[in-house]
Amino acid sequence: MAKAGVSEKTFNVWKCALDPNSTWIDAEIVENNAVRVWCSLCAKHVERLRGFRNFSDAFVNGIRGSALKRDSLAKHMGSAAHMRAEALESGPQPLQSILKTTPIGKPLTITIRLMYVCFIVANHFSSYRLHVYSILSILYTGPREGIE
């Protein structure tokens, strides 16, 4: 009868090469063979990863049989879902990095900058008790602050 999975020795070589700190690769070992391999990091954060594009439960439930290859582990390690799981594990990101990198954050960044300029203009009006007609001279603050 053919053995299922890969030998434990081969699995340990893969694990040392791809996960030297033993942070994410786990396996079910039966009779000195790794019959199922999964990503414990993705399994831990599965509920937050489900919304990712091309997310698959394969490494959460474990790969087995003909899918159990070193190349499969390497591809998973480079996947967007796994990288997001690593980011979740490392802790919360600073607000500025979230605003600059997420699709909803980019317009918010522009809005925050516009609000900042509006506060500068309002402060200028109140400080110098200026009339509304002098707004044209103050609106030149925009290009100085990077707002067009």
* pLDDT given for residue 95 in this prediction: 67
Q: What mean pLDDT comes out for the span 119-135?
A: 71
User: Of 46-50, 61-65, 105-109, where does mean pLDDT reach its minimum?
Assistant: 105-109
pLDDT of residue 36 exceeding 90: yes
* pLDDT given for residue 1 in this prediction: 42
- Interval 68-85: pLDDT, tens: 999 999 999 998 888 888
CA gyration radius, the chain? 26
Residue 6 vs residue 141, higher pLDDT: 6
Enumerate residues 6+ apart whose C-beta is below 8 A from 31. Answer: 3
d(CA 72, CA 30): 20
* pLDDT given for residue 56 in this prediction: 85
How sure is the predictor about 101, in pLDDT bands with cuts at 50, 70 and 90? low
* pLDDT given for residue 25 in this prediction: 92
* pLDDT given for residue 14 in this prediction: 92
Other CB atoms within 10 Å distance of the CB of residue 112: 11
d(CA 112, CA 29): 53
pLDDT averaged over every residue in the chain = 80
pTM: 0.59
